[in-house]
């Protein structure tokens, strides 16, 4: 019989660097991380996923095949994390799989969001009940479908005497504002780009996947006129609820803002860090949270220069990683989807309408039951 408290969470973010997998026991007052694993995407698959995120030829066939390929990689990640934790598939209640976002269009005439990684394939390859497609139910209820992590942030980090902001620095930066006063709503939204522009820019000019500790950005100069031009984008002044992605904030967007200027590439990188940190600080200030704690998670927590600039723009906040409260900042997002799967199986809502703009609380995702008729198939 599955252990009803043990769940696996799987996510790959907009950086496309790989799949984060966690096995979590929710039996106690706090989640107990049993094991974690990062499954990198093969370079060829990474390239194909970036290509499908942009309109092109033969998209339906490409999408169909990628859906299955990504599911196989998610299955590998799941079985690897179980192996690390000494767990068998039959001991797991469910997988919560976010999938790989390839489109997010909350402002379309008919808003939609699309994450691939076929849950039928994932369930078949692992032998574990899978909960997936979390975002579209919130969108069906009038929400943006994102961000979904604030509900988990609230459960994990809200404090009765200390207002806190949880800041996720993934491809996109998003904040969760957690009031200490009861009765006040949680606020959360995407503030703008984070690693998505930083990674693509350094990849173009330095042929590396990311700016280690922000060293390249630190070597550059912040160009104030370019920063003003970037911050003039209407997205930054939109009221919440709001969410975005690399479909909007990408190198084409940046190229339009550069407008044939002659900034050095390092200066652009430094200015992109400033764009991220100023955008975050302004959002936190607007919500009245410029004093208190800012708990940082996501890959950007390892960018030392970015963290320093955050501290500079939030001088009255204690800016520190979620690890100060025993939660690995690299794993918060994956743990979120393990927790959301648990909520779904229990028939409980997983969204926060005050964050996403949905008209009501809804149960998120679809359930793809495990077939216990045979041994799980080993993925290729």
Q: Are 169 and 306 in contact (CB under 8 A)?
A: yes
CB 244 within 8 A of CB 172: yes
**Domains of the chain with CATH codes:** 3-133 (3.30.420.40), 149-325 (3.30.420.40)
Q: Which residue, 139, 150, 152, 238, is CA-closest to 192? A: 238
Identify whether the C-beta of residue 7 lies closer than 8 Å to the C-beta of residue 95: yes
- What would the pLDDT profile of 282-293 be if each residue is shown by its tens digit? 999 999 999 999
Kindly report, residue by residue over 254-296, the tens digit of the pLDDT: 999 998 899 999 999 999 999 999 999 999 999 999 999 999 9
pLDDT higher than 50, residue 374: no
Give the pLDDT confidence of 311-348 residue by residue, as tens digits: 999 999 999 999 999 999 999 999 999 999 999 999 99
Q: Cβ distance 75 to 122 under 8 Å?
A: yes
The structure's pTM equals: 0.93
Cβ pair 105, 53 in contact under 8 A: no
For 112, phi then psi, to 5°, come to -150, 160
Per-residue pLDDT of 44-91, as tens digits, reads: 999 999 888 877 788 899 999 999 999 999 999 999 999 999 999 999
Q: Give backbone dihedrals phi and psi of 104, rounded to 5 degrees, phi first.
A: -145, 105
């Amino acid at each position: 019989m599955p252990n009803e408290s043990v769940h696996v969470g799987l996510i790959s973010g907009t950086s496309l660097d790989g799949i984060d997998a966690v096995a979590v026991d929710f039996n106690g007052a706090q989640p107990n991380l049993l094991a974690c694993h990062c499954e990198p995407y093969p370079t060829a698959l990474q390239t194909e996923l970036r290509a499908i995120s942009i309109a092109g030829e033969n998209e339906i066939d490409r999408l169909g095949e990628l859906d299955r390929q990504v599911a196989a990689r998610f299955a590998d990640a799941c079985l690897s994390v179980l192996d690390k934790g000494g767990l068998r598939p039959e001991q797991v209640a469910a997988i919560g799989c976010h999938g790989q976002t390839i489109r997010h269009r909350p402002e379309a005439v008919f808003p939609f969001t699309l994450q691939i990684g076929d849950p039928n394939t994932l369930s078949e390859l692992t032998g574990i009940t899978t909960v997936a497609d979390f975002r579209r139910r919130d969108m069906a209820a009038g929400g943006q479908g994102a961000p979904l992590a604030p509900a988990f942030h609230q459960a994990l980090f809200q404090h009765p005497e200390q207002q806190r902001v949880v800041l996720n620095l993934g491809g996109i930066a998003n904040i969760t504002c957690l009031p200490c006063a009861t009765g006040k709503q949680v606020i959360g939204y995407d503030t703008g780009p984070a690693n998505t522009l930083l990674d693509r820019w350094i990849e173009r000019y330095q042929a590396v996947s990311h700016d280690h500790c922000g060293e390249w950005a630190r070597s550059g100069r912040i160009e104030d006129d370019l920063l003003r031009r970037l911050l003039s984008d209407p997205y930054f002044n939109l009221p919440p609820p709001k969410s975005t992605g690399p479909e909007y904030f990408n190198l084409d967007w940046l190229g339009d803002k550069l407008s044939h200027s002659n900034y050095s590439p390092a200066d652009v990188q430094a200015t992109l860090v400033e764009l991220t940190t100023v955008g975050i600080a302004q959002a936190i200030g607007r919500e009245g949270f410029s004093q208190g704690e800012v708990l940082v998670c996501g890959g950007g927590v390892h960018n030392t220069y970015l963290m320093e600039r955050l501290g500079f723009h939030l001088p009255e906040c204690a800016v520190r990683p979620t690890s100060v409260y025993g939660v690995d900042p690299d794993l918060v997002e994956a743990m979120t989807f393990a927790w959301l799967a648990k909520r779904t199986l229990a028939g409980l809502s997983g969204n926060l309408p005050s964050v996403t703009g949905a008209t009501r609380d809804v149960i998120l995702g679809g359930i793809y039951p495990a077939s216990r008729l045979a041994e799980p198939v080993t993925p290729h």
